[in-house]
Structure 1
Amino acid sequence: MINWGIIGCGDVTEIKSGPAFSKIPGSRLVAVMRRDAAKAADYAARHNVPKWYSDADELMNDEEINAVYIATPPAFHLSYAIAALKKGLHVYVEKPVTLNADEALAMAEAVKESSAKLVVAHYRRAVPLFLRIRELIASGTAGDIRTLQIRMWQASNPALVASTADNWRLQPELSGGGYFHDLAPHQIDLLLFYFGEPDRYQGYSLNQSGLSAADDHVCGQIVFKNNIVVNGSWCFNVGEGQQTDTCEIVGTAGNITFAFFGNYVSWKTLEGEKTEIFKHPQHIEQPMISQVVDYFNDVQGNPCSIEDAIGTMKVMDGFIK
């Protein structure tokens, strides 16, 4: 039985992930932690969690717990992960895995020195829509892939992002950057999941609007070792009517289009056009958490290793330098 403790039971865990830990065979949520004791107690009561803590060390010292889910702002991921691994606790850590690639490398060293396991929550790898897109790519639906064009353009207060009392996502010392650091890890991880290792990448970022301390405009290019070229544009200061979330995969036989934060995939070839609509799981992280539990129980391999996440963080670092 994998007995979980959540470190950081904030808004992101309410539906996306938290309830799933007790809905998977061989898994149950034993305790939650939040520095605000009243909020931790409230979360535990509403979700029928037996125990709550306001101190992470106390949760990790609970003898009933053998795995932790770290869902704090990224600034705290590395320290909590190292502490858990040293105690022999398995770790499932939210994205972005750390503030930058150097911290991700430090986390990898901690994994090597521990008998415990670690998985990074790039959960879209396990969501049926994105597995279907991978299948379409691999089956040659669009022919030989030549280029991807990504547009993630949102207003300064994106509806895609969970609302919090203090918007830590716009505090680079806590998040690593701005909304790019919150949303792009999903996108870049999927690119690496689909196309393998990058050969080179470059980009730039700037604070275009000056609405916060975080850069709000990022552009980046990737050339994969298989010569597939990606051009990406992330802008978080467009007008409400200019918002878009699109990825177009262009090949020699057609194209595949989808939204990273949507529920559809469309493709167009000489044979015609087709669109498939998907209904995401109620708890969208549940398919990944199920794989995490299997990995912790030695039933399958690691669904997203720290090495995978290092690749994502290196690309992100390359885009914002």
Structure 2
Amino acid sequence: MKNLYKKNLLEDWNNKNKMEKAKVRWGIIGCGDVTEKKSGPAFNKVKDSQLLAVMRRDAAKAADYAQRHQVPDWYSKVEDLLDNPTLNAIYVATPPSSHFDYALKALKAGKNVYVEKPVTLNAEEARLLSEAVIKTNGKLVVAHYRRQLPMFLKVKELLKVGQIGAIRTVQLRLWQSRSPELVTTGAADWRTDPTISGGGYFFDLAPHQLDLMLYFFGTPLSYDGFSQVQDGASSVVDHTTGTILFENQIIFNGSWCFNVRSEDNIDRCEIVGSEGKITFSIFGNSILLRSDQGEKEFVFDHPEHIQYPMIASTVAFFEGKGPNPASMEEALTLMEIMDCFSKKEIKPFHTRK
């Protein structure tokens, strides 16, 4: 018992010592499913970073999360969390409908912010949040974490060195059943409520994909698309299509459908060049390269906490040691594309006379 007591005292001292030394001290708003493994534990594993508090409106669930993840403080009111002077960074991990309000409050409280995607419900909120970042002189990073994963860094590298020659076309398809396997189990209800999610599964899953297109190919010159409800049983849009023309003349075509048979599920992106093709799944772990030199597959093991690389880059940015890994300006462009693709008014096709 005496040795166990000494061990506990030592652990408490080490934890306290680490908290005092941590330069980026986090509080989480909304400790739900995404924070259990994908992100939450990573805050304590990144150098100079420590998770010190969590907030959830359900006090019992906030206390339970804090106890299970050994977080020192928990709150049921966001104001109490933001009033904690020890915290200098906030992770907004609630559903999209409250991203804008919570991120804005955190910026006004003088905290740096890491916010889940989609960054807001729509482009107008994103524009206002972008202005708030400038006005408060704060720092904000959007959790477009796939752009920091080794797999997608490899895709970017292959493109940069011209492995497939000049890019001719980019084709993306994400077709899923009405209950997508890609969505976190037990957390799907809010995703089909447009007042909370912004517009169904497209708004939950497409930001990952479209952000990577911006990351790979740069500034869009123009874009257009539309959405519709194909299945009468659906309360939200279940079919979306869109095209982007980038400044470098690369053309992207995307198709999202959430009403197919599960046997017809597909998650595929093909980047076709003059000398080959790169094929991969946004939610997979491998890249297939076909070129004039033959065929090669690259397989990756994603980090245990998949947001770890992005959180590490975010901490470096907050410390002034690196660039913003996913800026609000980029997220605004993404939300403008999302809004465009989500429109239901379809202009008639022009006919040649």
Answer yes or no: same fold by TM over 0.5: yes
1:86–1:263 Cα change, 3 Å: same
2:272 corresponds to which letter in structure 1? V
Contact in 1 for aligned 2:33/2:187 (Cα 8 Å): no
Match runs of 1:175-190 below 5 Å: 175-190=197-212
CA deviation map 1:236-274 (0-9, x unaligned): 111010001000000100100000000000111121111
Matched, 1:200 2:222: yes
1:151 corresponds to which letter in structure 2? R
Matched, 1:314 2:320: no
After TM superposition, the score normalised by the length of structure 1 is 0.98
Look up the match of 1:273.
295
Contact in 1 for aligned 2:239/2:258 (Cα 8 Å): yes
Q: Secondary structure at the match of 1:312?
A: helix
Distance in 2 (CA, whole Å) between partners of 1:212 and 1:82 is 33
Match 1:31 to one of 53, 61, 67:
53
1:309 corresponds to which letter in structure 2? A
Look up the match of 2:72.
50
Matched, 1:191 2:198: no
Q: Secondary structure at the match of 2:315?
A: helix
Distance in 1 (CA, whole Å) between partners of 2:67 and 2:188 is 24
Distance in 2 (CA, whole Å) between partners of 1:278 and 1:266 is 12
Match runs of 1:8-157 below 5 Å: 8-157=30-179
Shift of 1:57: 1.0
Matched, 1:257 2:279: yes
Shift of 1:115: 3.0
Distance in 2 (CA, whole Å) between partners of 1:213 and 1:50 is 41
1:245 corresponds to which letter in structure 2? D
Matched, 1:298 2:320: yes
Look up the match of 1:238.
260
Contact in 1 for aligned 2:139/2:318 (Cα 8 Å): yes
Look up the match of 1:288.
310
Give the alignment's Cα RMSD to 1 decimal: 0.9
Distance in 2 (CA, whole Å) between partners of 1:17 and 1:37 is 21
Distance in 1 (CA, whole Å) between partners of 2:27 and 2:229 is 37
Structure 1 stretches of at least 4 aligned residues deviating more than 3 Å after TM superposition: none
With 109-118 and 143-152 compared, the bigger mean Cα shift is at: 109-118
Structure 1 gap ranges (5+): none
Rg (Cα) greater in structure: 2
Q: Secondary structure at the match of 2:138?
A: coil
| Residue identity (%) | 55
Look up the match of 2:239.
217
2:322 corresponds to which letter in structure 1? Q
Shift of 1:211: 3.4
Q: How many residues align?
A: 321
Look up the match of 1:2.
24
Shift of 1:166: 6.3
1:133 corresponds to which letter in structure 2? V
Matched, 1:158 2:180: yes
Shift of 1:212: 3.6
With 19-28 and 160-169 compared, the bigger mean Cα shift is at: 160-169
After TM superposition, the score normalised by the length of structure 2 is 0.90
Distance in 1 (CA, whole Å) between partners of 2:323 and 2:293 is 38
Q: Secondary structure at the match of 1:113?
A: helix
Shift of 1:165: 5.4
Q: Secondary structure at the match of 2:136?
A: coil
Q: Secondary structure at the match of 2:248?
A: coil
Shift of 1:125: 1.1
1:190 corresponds to which letter in structure 2? L
Shift of 1:35: 0.9
